[in-house]
Amino acid sequence: MSRLALCRECDWVSRLPPRRPGQQAHCPRCGHHLTGVAQRDAQAPMAWAIAALIALGLVFVFPFLGFSTHGVGHVMNFGDTVSALIGDDYGALAAVLLATTVGFPGVYLAALIYLCIAAGRNRRPLPGVVPLARLLRPLEPWMMSDVFIVGVLVSLIKIVSLADIHIRASFVAFCVYSLLLLRTLTLIDWTALWDAVAPVPAPGRDIRSGATGRSQSLVACAACDTPFVANRHHRCPRCGKRHHVFRVDRIQLTWALLVTSALLYIPANIYPVLSTITLGNAQPQTIAGGVLHLAEAGDWPIAAVIFVASIVVPISKIVALGWLCIAAQGRPGASLSRTRAYRLTEKIGRWSMIDVFVVAVLATLVQAGALMSIEPGRGAVAFAGVVILTMIAALTFDTRLLWPDSAYPDPDTESSA
């Protein structure tokens, strides 16, 4: 049986045909993924989620990395990264590290298992399923275990010429956990999962496909994707999530976040992100200084990674989102290319967190007393703020403003599957 879907990116109403296992639906207007890949049941993502959660538990059982130089050694556990940052009075960095690498993913996996169990029950539904399902998808952009692995590898390459590095079992478990988490995310069929825990209600009135949602006073639920007519209370009739009506214009909100990010990017580059202390002598290092140091040492690939992630990506994201805000305030044109630019900008922003993770790992691992140690700097806090604010700016930007409200020429009202 077909169903209606409202694209979040271009505001186009489509009629989805029934999907067979392995198929997914795309918006015929902008190509946005309207649904994930259809699964036969909820057993596959639940199995992968359980495996990922077990691997995550093993991360805290064994040592993570080992460091030794001139007969002085240090072994760190994963939890030491948090305690070391807190001990250096960088609790904000510790909170970001813990939340993005294990906190949000751990909650996500446990909640997903609970939802999959609830979806497979034909009897009385389990309590709290709908509120829990509402909260999960907003966590996905903030789960950065894969970014953390790259940050660890960059950290090891930066100090491999100064000391002996030992990979321990916990790091292997973390890599396995990250791979299992990514696999779990690719298997979730949110459309079918929502149908199992909260069936789609009948629309209050006729809704036309092949037209925009704005022309019909439709909005899409941010949690369950259900299109509904905005009512006085602005709550989704399916899951009860409140539809956010911004008192501040969305473009103005994005501009405010971008300007704040640009201003914060100045101290992020002026202040050192870390300081290497050797025999009592401190050598502070900024983001640009770290790139130059790696290049002079001959580590061009790592220097390129840091340069792109910490300099090119943040600046490009601020410029690109600013350009999109200007485009959204003008006449719509070349909407598809602008939407693709937004997708790329939104996807790559999280990888700027590599430098923050590098600082966290080095500050925890390189602890050899008076011989050598590394401490985080104020620039790392400012840079973490830049990454977080630009990610929020991308999430608040309304891509529907890039598209005209009039009917799309020669629309295919049946979305592709």
Question: Taking Cα atoms as reference points, which of 242, 239, 238 lies closest to residue 200?
Answer: 238
Q: Are 225 and 27 in contact (CB under 8 A)?
A: no
Report the percentage of the chain scoring pLDDT > 70.
90
Question: Which tens digit of pLDDT belongs to each residue from 102-117?
Answer: 999 999 999 999 999 8
Of how many residues is the chain composed?
417
In terms of Cβ atoms closer than 10 Å to its own Cβ (0-12, 13-18, 19+), residue 161 is exposed
Mean per-residue pLDDT over the chain, rounded:
85
For tokens 């805000």, name the residue.
325
- Tokens encoding 18: 């029934």
Helical H segments across 271-299, by residue range: 287-296
Q: How confident is the model at residue 374 (pLDDT cuts 50, 70, 90)?
A: confident
Q: Is residue 203 scored above 90 in pLDDT?
A: no
- First-to-last C-alpha distance (Å) of the chain: 14
| Residues in contact with 169: Cβ distance below 8 Å, sequence separation at least 6, in sequence order | 58, 62, 63
Nearest to 326 by CA among 219, 238, 401: 401
**Which tokens sit at 145?**
């275990």
CA distance 78 to 60: 6
Distance CA 224, CA 198 (A): 9
Confidence band of 333 (pLDDT split at 50, 70, 90) = low
Are 234 and 243 within 8 A, CB to CB?
yes
Q: How far apart are CA 43 and CA 61, in angstroms?
A: 28
CA atoms lying within 13 Å on the CB side of residue 111: 18
Which DSSP symbol is given to 17? P
| For helices 354-365 and 78-87, angle between their N-to-C axes, nearest 10 degrees | 90
Confidence of residue 202 (pLDDT cuts 50, 70, 90): confident
Kindly report which listed range (34-48, 164-178, 180-194) carries the lowest average pLDDT score: 34-48
Distances (CA, A) of 234 to 68, 72, 202, 297, 381: 59, 62, 17, 58, 38
Q: Which residues of 203-215 are buried (b: 16+ CB within 10 A; e: fewer)?
A: eeeebebbbbbee
Helix (H) or strand (E) holding 4: strand 3-6
According to the model, what pLDDT value does residue 250 have? 81
Going by pLDDT thresholds of 50, 70 and 90, the confidence category of residue 185 is very high
pLDDT tens digits for 29-80? 888 888 888 887 778 899 999 999 999 999 999 999 888 776 677 788 998 8
Contact 48, 183 (CB under 8 A): yes
The pLDDT score that the predictor gives to residue 229 is 81
Indicate the helix (H) or strand (E) that contains 95: helix 91-98
Provide the token pair at 331.
Answer: 């006449």
Residue 95 and residue 381 in contact, taking contact as beta carbons nearer than 8 Å: no
Query: Is the pLDDT assigned to residue 413 strictly greater than 50?
Result: no
Give buried/exposed letters for 270-286 (b at 16+ CB in 10 A, else e). Answer: ebbbbebbeeeeeeebb
Rounded Cα–Cα distance for residues 220 and 34 (Å):
11
Is the separation of the CB atoms in 359 and 376 below 8 Å? yes
Ranges 96-100, 298-302, 398-402, most confident: 96-100
- Kindly report the backbone phi and psi dihedral angles of residue 195, in degrees, each rounded to the nearest multiple of 5, phi listed first: -60, -35
Average pLDDT in the 289-303 region? Answer: 83
